[in-house]
Structure 1
Amino acid sequence: GPYTSGTGGDTLLILKEKDQDWEKDQSISVIHAPILVAAPGELHLPSDRKILIFKRSGGGAKEAYAALTSKDGIYCTAAEAEEVKDQEIHGTLLLVQKDPAPTLEEKEK
């Protein structure tokens, strides 16, 4: 919706478990689905948390996949994410966007 999405992308909300509940850990804007957690050792990038791969596009930039890495437990911004070039990526797919978005009638089914 308009509070979490814009022409540049969506906001990724990262949650962490706390006291049998969930709390916000970090939010990162200008993210496009799909989002993939890279398999351990898949990318040779320094990161103290799992590396998240997302599609970067819009604003006149060419479409590319980029890697969100973290330092001291904080992920970099989408703009700081390093482009993943010319390699097959393996991991766990977390979020996928159905294109185009389902209509209200499809959601009700």
Structure 2
Amino acid sequence: MEHEIVVEGFVLQVEVTHCENTPPCPGTWSSDWDAQGCRELEFKVVSGICYDDDGIRMDVEPYQLPILAHSLGRQIETALWVEIDAINRRQKRWAA
């Protein structure tokens, strides 16, 4: 699933390649993962844009995308979790 996020002045199109979002289940003692839950995310930055000081749009070059993914990995992951959690809340609200 692709998401558009804004991180450090970059507007990024990010594809989530793997998402594990298992909520904690404290009453389960079969394994630590079951009791504490698990949240993992793998992603790939597909494209990006930024704006210069004059407000002119500039595309991020394809060879710079892996560098951005590495240097802004934590911020990208946090922004993705915010998006994913919002989508899950909306789906639960509409299902009720």
| Structure with higher strand content | 1
- TM-score, with length taken from structure 2: 0.32
In terms of fraction of residues, the more helix-rich structure is 2
Bigger CA radius of gyration: 2
